[in-house]
Amino acid sequence: MTLVSDRTFCAPTQSLPPSLGLAGAGCRQNLRVSALQSVSLCAGRGWLQLDARLSVEKAQKKPERLLAVNAWLPGTAKCCLDTSGKAHLRLELPLSFPEDDGEQRLQPALDCMRQALRVVEQGEAGSDTGDAGEAPPTNAPDVKALCLEAGWPIIERAPGRWAVELEGVPSFSQAEIVMQGETLHLAVFLAEWKTLPESCSEAIAHLLLTASGAFRMIRAALQPADGMQRALLLTRLPVTDVETDLLHALRALSVGAAATLQEVEALRNPAIAQEYQAMAIPGLR
């Protein structure tokens, strides 16, 4: 497989060289869904990334709806906004070493992207598989041992359920890790509210979708819980990828939480939210 520079990130699927494995009819068929205008791939500098611009129809969904969809997407797939405010579906995975061309991870990434596209197209929540806190399957790496070996403080709360203290956040914050079936779910609580002024909810949604585009592997999401709206950072890892991806995910969650915890709280103030909208949201400037 040919190494692709980050500079070729916007190349459409049709123009990618056959050596990348994306030129075959099967792969195009999996990805050519009405939600997409183009598909692009970047493999290099230690990361594999798939990206698809969402169609105008999907991009015009309320940001809050895209965040709700994020709560149900598989793997590291996510709806996000780029710096110009355009909506994307994106997926990122770390490679084993900087010279890795991503060939071993490409097909699973395409499968995950295809599943994510179905969720986006349906526009409705999927369903989790397995009960929260299941005992890890026999093929699962030792989550606690991996974290301790890398210096991450971790507590095992129950079989298949852990809490990891994040680094560099402005206040004490933990990643909740839960084993569900063959998937490891990681989530960080940001904030919750019952109702918010429209300006606040729009500003927070824009901030969270933009943050989803800025940080690899993780996404922001909104989930209803006990009559409240809960904002989270999260990602999901197949048990087969935990050994290679877990520490990357924890670092991403730490950086994401450090960048959004205080900002989300500030945007619950209508005056600050309106100022943010005027400065940051295209079309409102």
Which pair of tokens denotes residue 131?
């009960």
Distance CA 235, CA 140 (A): 17
Contact (Cβ atoms closer than 8 angstroms) between residue 131 and residue 177: no
Q: How far is CA 127 from CA 74, 79, 124, 163, in A?
A: 10, 18, 10, 23
Distance CA 179, CA 249 (A): 15
* Rounded-to-10 torsion of CA 261, 45, 101, 95: -40
Contact (Cβ atoms closer than 8 angstroms) between residue 135 and residue 49: no
pLDDT of residue 118: 85
List the Cα angle 71/72/75 in 5-degree steps: 100
- Domains of the chain in sequence order: 6-122 (3.30.1460), 143-280 (3.30.1460.10)
Using the CB atoms, write b or e for 51-77: b if 16+ within 10 Å: bbbbbeebbebebbebbbbbbbbbbbb
Q: If DSSP codes are grouped into helix, strand and coil, which group holds residue 123? A: coil
Of 247, 177, 183, the residue nearest 217 (C-alpha): 247
Contact (Cβ atoms closer than 8 angstroms) between residue 176 and residue 263: no
Distance CA 175, CA 178 (A): 10
Of 123, 131, 129, 117, the residue nearest 88 (C-alpha): 117
Distance CA 125, CA 243 (A): 29
Q: Any idea how long the chain is?
A: 285
pLDDT of residue 84: 86
Q: pLDDT averaged over consecutive 10-residue blocks of the chain (285 residues)?
A: 29 33 32 48 80 70 88 95 90 76 78 88 56 65 94 94 94 94 95 95 95 96 93 95 94 96 96 94 58
Of 182, 174, 176, the residue nearest 74 (C-alpha): 182
